[in-house]
Amino acid sequence: MFLYLMTGVGLAVALFLIFLGVNPFPLVVLLAMVWLVTSLQGGRISQGSFGAKKAANNKGSSTIPTTRFEEIGGQEHAKTELKEALDFLLYHERMEAYGIRPIKGILLAGPPGTGKTLMAKAAAHYTDSVFVSASGSEFVEKYVGVGAQRIRRLFQDARKAAKKNRKKSAIVFIDEIDVIGGKREGGQQREYDQTLNQLLTEMDGIHVDGDVRMLVMAATNRKEMLDPALLRPGRFDRHILVDLPDKQARLQILTLHARNKPLSPDVSLDKVAQDTFGFSGAQLESLTNEAAIYALRQGSEQLEPAHFQAAIDKVMMGEKTDREAAHDEKLRVAIHELGHAIMAELVQPGSVSSVALSPRGQALGYVRQHPGQDRYLYTKEELEGRIRVCLAGAAAEQLVLGSKSTGAQNDYEQANRYARGLVQSGLSERGIIDAELIAKSELHETTTKILNELQTRTEQQLASYLPLIEECTAILMREEVLNGDEFRQLLREKASA
């Protein structure tokens, strides 16, 4: 208001000077300088006020969740471990009789999409607690002290919400805690450090308010990045792994998400669970949703097995693209993928679900495999088999076309990872080693020797299947997709011949 008043007065004075015949230019310059300085100061004041308003308005999301542990598929071990920790909050009087110190924090660690946030909400429902949540990124602020102020306000809001809803406990959940809880480095103090220090202070002072029992829960997929001060007992007392689901857990998750969908009697969720090794809970939810979308597009009244197979391909590799490759390029891709498929069946019979020539994501073609039973440990022979599958695509190109292409780059990278795994696990000719002490050149020499030997074995095995590659290539070029059962039938016929 003051700025506008000064501008009006200045214009009036300038007009009066012109009327008197006096040059008003010096006055106009002076007024312009005053206006500029005042507006810049006002901008800084406004900017600071905006930051303060953001801090004042940041109260997290305060609710009383309805999510129950029974609604979360799989993760039985994690749920059991979490319930045992929550019993300290529920039966605190009994714990005090034994002299047990209350648990202040529970850290949920695991890959993205495994249900850590759902677990935290179910914990609030299980303990009948107010649930106040925030993301670590909400506390990242360029203004000094604002992040720490938001941490204080988050805990204050949790206590107020518990009293307002007449609850005796509150759970503060911080997602992506690694954003503010990363390891502190020496030297210059960062704003992140002040925010982390405030969080540590709040956790140390949790026992002060006797009316409301507080519990801090946090989630991260990078536990190794967290500051040791957060992980010590008395802060985050319990570390619970929320890992990718196994086959039985995947079946439970698929069953939960398929409850409201019209499934065909031909659909076997057990087979879908078998085909989705390595999928997270979020990916499985997306899979059932994409299968329903495919059924809707085709006007089908029920979700058929083909819809789930297409949905698996989409979740794994992305939507089909409209890229049209040249004939000779498609031919090379077909031969490459058939090399992978033949070797996969030789290494692990019955593992190929389909061979496709249709582009998805960045891939021009692909072979989809399922691993059979979930595997977490591998022998030397099994790892060597996986390496041969990786090398078989380029080997087939070399045998049929007389040359290789850049399409094998990702295959070689994966084969190198498996070869390094052989060396570092003590399964190579070097025996047991310390991976940190071995020179990179020696590691490279050993892995190269392993890959060259397996490359020779792969080419020798594929050489006897050239007629099969020729026949299947014609089918792929015509149909673009070769079913796993059909491919195995052709493989058996050629083997018997």
The residue extents of the domains of the chain are 2-42, 77-241, 247-317, 327-496
Mean pLDDT for the stretch of residues 299-326: 83
Domains 77-241 and 327-496 share a fold: no
Which pLDDT tens digit goes with each residue over 341-353? 999 999 988 888 8
Which pLDDT tens digit goes with each residue over 270-283? 989 988 888 899 99
For residue 412, the model assigns a pLDDT of 94
* pLDDT of 190 strictly over 80: no
Query: Angle at the Cα of 373 (from 369 to 377), degrees rounded to 5?
Result: 100
* pLDDT of 439 strictly over 80: yes
Determine what percent of the chain is predicted with pLDDT higher than 70.
81
- Whole-angstrom distance, CA of residue 138 vs CA of residue 128: 26
* pLDDT of 44 strictly over 60: no
* pLDDT of 62 strictly over 80: no
* Whether domain 247-317 has CATH 1.10.8.60: yes
- Whole-angstrom distance, CA of residue 74 vs CA of residue 253: 7
Which pLDDT tens digit goes with each residue over 241-268? 999 898 888 999 999 999 889 999 999 9
* pLDDT of 54 strictly over 60: no
* pLDDT of 206 strictly over 70: no
Nearby residues of 391 by Cβ (< 8 Å), 6 or more positions away: 343, 411, 412, 415, 451, 454, 455, 458
- Whole-angstrom distance, CA of residue 481 vs CA of residue 490: 14
Determine what percent of the chain is predicted with pLDDT higher than 90.
32
Residue 233 corresponds to which tokens in the numbers above? 């007992």
pTM, two decimal places:
0.71
Which pLDDT tens digit goes with each residue over 64-86? 788 888 888 888 889 999 998 88
Nearby residues of 482 by Cβ (< 8 Å), 6 or more positions away: 341, 354, 355, 356, 472, 475, 476
Which pLDDT tens digit goes with each residue over 441-489? 889 999 999 999 999 999 999 998 999 999 999 998 988 888 888 898 9
CA of 393: how far to CAs of 344, 365, 403, in Å? Answer: 11, 11, 12
* pLDDT of 87 strictly over 90: no
* pLDDT of 202 strictly over 80: yes
Q: Which residue type is seen at 101?
A: R
**What architecture is the 327-496 domain classified under in CATH?**
Up-down Bundle (1.20)
| Domain at 77-241: CATH code | 3.40.50.300
Nearby residues of 37 by Cβ (< 8 Å), 6 or more positions away: none
DSSP result, 201-254: HHHHTGGG-SSSEEEEEEEES-GGGB-HHHHSTTTS-EEEE-----HHHHHHHH
* pLDDT of 193 strictly over 80: no
For residue 435, the model assigns a pLDDT of 78
Catalytically active residues are: 337
Let me know how many helices (H) and strands (E) the chain has, helices first: 18, 9
Mean pLDDT for the stretch of residues 107-125: 91
* pLDDT of 205 strictly over 50: yes
